[in-house]
Copies of this chain bind each other. A is one copy, B any other.
Amino acid sequence: MARPLLPLLLLAAGGLWAAERSGSSSAMEELATEKEAEESHRQDSVSLLTFILLLTLTILTIWLFKHRRVRFLHETGLAMIYGLIVGVILRYGTPSTSGHDKPFSCSQEDRPFTTLLVNVSGKFFEYTLKGEISPGKIHNVEQNDMLRKVTFDPEVFFNILLPPIIFHAGYSLKKRHFFRNLGSILAYAFLGTAVSCFIIGNLMYGVVKLMKLVGQLSDKFYYTDCLLFGAIISATDPVTVLAIFNELHADVDLYALLFGESVLNDAVAIVLSSSIVAYQPTGENTHAFDAAAFFKSVGVFLGIFSGSFMMGAVTGVVTALVTKFTKLHCFPLLETALFFLMSWSTFLLAEACGFTGVVAVLFCGITQAHYTYNNLSVESRSRTKQLFEVLHFLAENFIFSYMGLALFTFQKHIFSPVFIIGAFIAIFLGRAAHIYPLSFLLNLGRRHKISWNFQHMMMFSGLRGAMAFALAIRDTATYSHQMMFSTTLLIVFFTVWIVGGGTTPMLSWLNIRVGVDPDQDPPPTNDSFQVLQGDGPDSERRNRTKQESAWLFRLWYSFDHNYLKPILTHSGPPLTTTLPSWCGLIARCLTSPQVYDNQEQLREEDSDFILNDGDLTVTYGDTTITANGSSGPHTATTSLDGRRTKSSSEEALERDLGAADHEVTSRGTRLVFPLEDNA
C-alpha cells in the first residue's frame, strides 16, 4: 500500500538538517558544520535544478515534436532519454566525493534499533536507522553525494506525484465509455492481473531454477520473490496509457478498456505485492507459495477495493454538499482551494484507513466531475480543470525523466541477461494468457464484442510504466530485489519506447480509428466496432435495450437522477416531485431554488449514465467536463414535442436516450418525453 510521506519527509529532513547544524558546539566546529550545511544545501539546489532543467528541456522538445508532427517517439519516451543522458553525465561526469566522515562501527547484540543514542564526549546525539548495507559495500557508503541526492524515494512518487495524475484521470474521464465497458474492465483488471501475476511468477521461477543450474545466480531467489515480480510487472500503467492514447485520440472504447484495466490493476498489483510480502513468513524459511494466504489476500483485496471506492465517493459527495449549501461560489479562490484539499484528503484518508489511495482518488475524481462540478462557479470550473491539468503534466514528465535518470544513478543494479530475457518472454506469455482467453469469455457475454483487432492492440499495449517502477524501487535491499528492479527498469524502457513509438503504426495496421472526438459516438458504418454487432433495425434494438440490458444501470440511473442529483447539485428534477409527499419539508429544504428556474435548461444536462449498448448512449455527461470552462448551463437545443408528461425516471431515461440520438443524428426515431414543470 502507498504511504503518504510529507510529515515523514518534514521530520526526516528536519532531522538531517538538524544533524548538519547542531552536530558540534565549539566555535570552529560550528563554522565547519555551517560550511558543510551550506555545501549540502547547494548540492540540494543543484540536484533539484537538474530535474527542473530536464523538465524544461523536455517541454521544449515536446513542443518541437508537436510542431513538426514527429510521431516515432512519444514525449514520455523523450523524457526518459533526457533522463538517461543526464544520468550518464552525473554518473561519469561528476567527481566521486567520498564521505567526509568515515563510518564508525560498534557491535550490538540484538536486532537493530530504529533510534540510536550516541555519547560523544559527554554530549548525546540521536541517530536514525537508514538501512542495511551488504558487507561488500561498506566502503561504498556515501561514495557519491550527488548521485545519492538525485536518487529519490518511491514514497514521493506514490504520494505527491501519483494523486494528481490519477485524480485528473478520474476528473476528465469519459464516464460514458468507462461505464459502458465496466464489466470487461473489471474482468481484465481483477482476473487478468491475477492470472498474469501467477503465470509470470511461475515462469520466472523456472528461469531462476535454470539460472541456478547454469550457475548464474549468486544469491538466494525464492518462489515468493518470483511471485512478487509477477505482481510488480503484471500491472499495465495508467500514466503511460493515458499519455499515449489520450494524445492520439484513439478509439474511445479501446481507450476505456485499456485505461480502465490499467487504473484498476494498479490497485490489484499494489495489494498483491504487499500481500505477497506480508504472507511470506507463514512458510518460515521455505518461502514456498501458500495458496490459502494467497486466496485470503484476494478476499482482503476485495474489501480494500470496495472500501476505497466508498471513500472516494463519499468525499466527492461531501464536497458536493458543501459547495451546494454554502455560497462558496461567490469566492472562486476559496472554492478551488476547498476542492483541491478535499480531493487530496481522499487519498490520505484512504491510506490512513488502510485502503488504496489510488482507487479512492480515482472514484473521488469521477464523483467530483459528476456532482460537484455542477455546483462550482464558472471560474472555479476552469480553474480546477487547469490546475489539475498542469499538475498532472508536470508530475508525469517528472516521473519519466526520473526513470531515465535512475538507470545510471541507482547504484545497486544487477543485470542478468538470462533473467531479463526470461522476464521479457514471461510478460509476453502472461499478457497473452490474460488478454485472449479473457476476451473470448467476455465476448460470450457481450453483445458488443471485443474484436480481434482490439485484442491484438490490447496485447501490444501491455505497457509497463511508472507504477511497476515504483513498486520495484520500494524494496531494493536484497539481491533478488535488486535484480528485479533492474529488469523492471529495462522492461519499462522497452515498452515505453517500442509501444509508445509503435502505437500509431500499429493502430493504422489494425484499422483502428484515431483522432476520434471522444464525445461523439462512432458512426454506424465503416467501423470495426459496429460491424461485429450483427444488429437488427434501430427501433427493435432500442426496445430490446429498454427491456433486457443494464437493469442495474437503469436502477442506478433513476436513483441518481431523481434523488442524488437534486440533493447534491443544483440540477435534476425538484425533490418535491420525486420524493413521496410526506417528505415535503425535507424535499423543499434540499432542493435548491435554481432547480425550478433551471428546469427548462437542464433537459440535456442531467444525464450521465450509460447503458451497456453500443449506440444507445446518453451523451451529456462528458460535455460538462470537456466544455472549455466558460460554459454555464447550456440552453436546451432539443426540439421538444410539445407534450408534457409527469416526470419519472423511466421517462427521463427515455428522454436521455432521445437526447443521445439528437447528437448522433443518423439514428431512427426519437422518443422525447419532456418534464412537466411542477414548480
Which residues of A come within 8 Å of B, CB atoms? Answer: 1, 3-25, 27-31, 34, 37-38, 40-49, 52-53, 55-56, 59-60, 62-63, 66-67, 99-121, 123-135, 138, 141-142, 148-156, 277-278, 280-281, 284-285, 322, 326-328, 330-331, 333-334, 336-338, 340-342, 344-345, 348-349, 351-352, 354, 382-383, 386-387, 389-390, 393-394, 397, 474-475, 477
Distance A338 CA – B13 CA, assembled complex (angstroms): 28
Cβ–Cβ < 8 Å partners of A153 in chain B: 10-11, 13-14, 17
**Given known A-B contacts A10-B156, A117-B133, A394-B337, A15 and B128 have beta carbons under 8 A apart:** yes
Rounded to whole Å, the gap between the CB of A150 and the closest CB of chain B is 6
CB-CB nearest in chain B for A379: B386
Cβ–Cβ < 8 Å partners of A15 in chain B: 12, 128, 130-131
Whether the Cβ atoms of B45 and A348 lie closer than 8 Å is: yes
Distance A494 CA – B132 CA, assembled complex (angstroms): 48
Cβ–Cβ < 8 Å partners of A393 in chain B: 333-334, 337
20 A-B pairs whose Cβ atoms sit less than 8 Å apart in the complex: A1-B38, A3-B44, A4-B45, A7-B44, A9-B13, A10-B151, A11-B152, A19-B131, A24-B112, A27-B280, A31-B281, A45-B351, A49-B349, A52-B341, A59-B334, A103-B126, A104-B113, A104-B117, A106-B106, A109-B121
Which of A9, A322, A328 gathers most chain B CB within 10 Å? A9
A18 interface neighbour in B60, B130, B134, B152, Cβ under 8 Å = B130
Whether the Cβ atoms of A30 and B126 lie closer than 8 Å is: no
Whether the Cβ atoms of B113 and A34 lie closer than 8 Å is: no
Cβ–Cβ < 8 Å partners of A113 in chain B: 101-104
Distance A152 CA – B284 CA, assembled complex (angstroms): 40
Distance A52 CA – B327 CA, assembled complex (angstroms): 21
Whether the Cβ atoms of B104 and A116 lie closer than 8 Å is: yes
Rounded to whole Å, the gap between the CB of A103 and the closest CB of chain B is 4
A348 interface neighbour in B52, B114, B349, Cβ under 8 Å = B52
Whether the Cβ atoms of A30 and B106 lie closer than 8 Å is: no
A7 interface neighbour in B110, B142, B152, Cβ under 8 Å = B152
**Given known A-B contacts A59-B341, A131-B19, A477-B21, A48 and B6 have beta carbons under 8 A apart:** yes
Rounded to whole Å, the gap between the CB of A463 and the closest CB of chain B is 22
Whether the Cβ atoms of A11 and B151 lie closer than 8 Å is: yes
Whether the Cβ atoms of B3 and A114 lie closer than 8 Å is: no
**Given known A-B contacts A1-B41, A13-B8, A27-B280, A110 and B120 have beta carbons under 8 A apart:** yes
